Amino acid sequence: MKSRPLRQAQDRRFKQVDVFTAAPYLGNPLAVVLDGTDLSTEEMQHFAHWTNLSETTFLLPPSLEGAAAGADYRVRIFTPGGELPFAGHPTLGSCHAWLQAGGRPKAKDEIVQECKVGLIRIHREGTRLAFAAPPLKRGNPSPALLAQVAAALGLQSHQIIAAQMLDNGPVWLGLLLDCQSTVLQLTPDHLVLKNLGLKVGVAAVEYAQQATTLIARSNPEARAFGPRSERLGDAEEAPQVEVRAFAAPLGVPEDPVTGSFNASLAQWLIADGLAPSTYMAAQGACLGRAGRVHIAQDASGQVWVGGDCVTCIDGRVTL
C-alpha cells in the first residue's frame, strides 16, 4: 500500500471568535481556520483536538451543488472528539470571521452557509447575526432513559416539567425544568452521561411553574403546559430562559453557549406554548460566562437564533 505523500504545512489565516456575547471572553470561543483547502479530515480533527475548544471550524469554497443553490462558503465543524453536521455557535462565529476577513455574500443582508446538514441562511441585523433554525425532528424519550438521565443530573421526577428528544443535526435530550434555580444548581455525573452516549440540554422558563394548566401527556414522563404565560415580559430587558448543555460524549462536559440546542429548544417550547415567540436565553453562568441567545419566530413560523460575536485573536496558524 502506497503511503500518502507528506503535505508541506502552510500559514493560514486564523481567528478565535467569542460567540453569543458582545464583550470578549464572556461567550463561547470558536477557532476558525479561514482556509481549510487541502487539509484532510484527520488533519482537521487533530487540530480541533489540539485547540481543546468545544468547536473548531474550517472554511472552504462551496461545493458545486452548494454554489448552484446559492451557498457563499462551506464549513466543516469539529469538536475535540469528532465532526458535527451542524452547530449553532460555529455557524455564527464562522460567518462573523468570514465577513470580517472580506467575504462578500451574494445577497445584501443574507449569507448562505453550506454544512453537512445542507444550507443554512444567516441574516445580518446591524452587527448581530442570526441563523435560521434547521428543521426539527422530535419525540418522547423512553421512561427508562429519562430515569437514567434524571439520576445522572440529580433530579427528582417532579422537577422535570417536559422532555423531548430533539434532532436538528445534533441530537439532544431536552429537559424543561421547574425553575431557573434548579437549572443552575445541577451537578451532573458527566461519566454516566458519557457512558449513555447522550447530549443533554436543560432549561427553565421564568414563571413557567406558574403557567395556567398543566396538561399530562400520553407519556407521563413528558408533560407540557397549556397556553403560554403573558408575564414573560420584554425579551430585551432580561433573559427569560436559563439554559445549560452537557455534551460529555463529545469530550465537552458543559458547553458555555450552545446554538444548536437553543435552536431546537426554541422550536419545541414555542410550538408547545411553553415560551413566547420572542425571548432571550442566558447560558454559561456556571462557567463564569454570560452568553445571550436571541430567539425570534417570524410570521412564516421560522425560528431565528441570533447572537453577537467578537474577535479575540486574529493572526495565522501553520497547518
How many residues are given for the chain?
319
Domain boundaries, the chain: 13-133+307-318, 137-300
**Whether the predicted pLDDT of 123 surpasses 80:** yes
Q: Does domain 137-300 have CATH number 2.60.120.860?
A: no
Q: State percent of the chain over pLDDT 90.
A: 83
Q: What is the dihedral of CA 21, 24, 26, 28, to 10 degrees?
A: 70
Distance separating alpha carbons of residues 283 and 263, to the nearest angstrom: 13
Please give the angle made by the CA atoms of 187, 252 and 44, to the nearest 5 degrees: 180
For position 207, what pLDDT does the model report? 60
| Of 98, 108, 6, nearest in space to 57 by CA | 98
From the candidate CATH numbers 3.30.390.50, 1.10.287.110, 3.10.310.10, 3.40.50.1220, the one assigned to the domain spanning 13-133+307-318: 3.10.310.10
* Least-confidence region, from 4-8, 75-79, 159-163, 199-203: 4-8
Task: Name 200's Cβ contacts closer than 8 Å, sequence gap at least 6.
Answer: 149, 152, 153, 172, 173, 175, 188, 193, 245, 246
Residue range 150-192, pLDDT digits in tens? 999 999 999 999 999 999 989 999 999 999 999 999 999 999 9
Residues forming a β-bridge with 43: none
Q: What stretch of H or E contains 203?
A: strand 199-205
The cell numbers describing 242, all together, are 436559563
Kindly write down the DSSP assignment for every residue of 217-239, as one continuous string.
PSSTTS-EESSPPSTT--TTTS-
How many Cβ atoms sit within 10 Å of the Cβ of residue 154? 13
- Do the Cβ atoms of 155 and 183 come closer than 8 Å? no
For position 178, what pLDDT does the model report? 97
Tell me phi and psi for residue 161, to 5 degrees: -80, -40
Kindly write down the DSSP assignment for every residue of 165-196, as one continuous string.
EEESSSEEEEEEES-HHHHHT----HHHHHHH
In Å, the largest CA–CA distance within the chain is: 68
Domains 13-133+307-318 and 137-300 share a fold: yes
Residue range 302-313, pLDDT digits in tens? 999 999 999 999
| Of 246, 224, 241, 234, nearest in space to 180 by CA | 241
